[in-house]
Amino acid sequence: RLVERRDQIDRMLGDLDKAIHRQRTKQEEIRQDPKDMFDGFDPTSVEEETSRRWGDTPEYQQSIHRTSSYEEQDWRLIEEEQTGLYEALYALMQQGASVSDDAVQKLVEAHRAFISRWFYDCSHERHRSLALMYEQDERFVRTIEAKGTRPRLAQFLSQAILLEHGN
Residues in the chain: 167
Phi, psi of 42 (to 5 degrees): -100, 105
Per-residue pLDDT tens for 72-107? Answer: 788 888 888 998 999 999 999 999 999 999 999 999
CA distances from 123 to 31, 145, 150 (A): 27, 24, 26
pTM of this structure: 0.69
Contact 95, 126 (CB under 8 A): no
Task: Return all residues near 161 (Cβ < 8 A) that are at least 6 apart.
Answer: 108, 111, 112, 127, 128, 130, 131, 134
Q: What is the pLDDT of residue 47?
A: 57
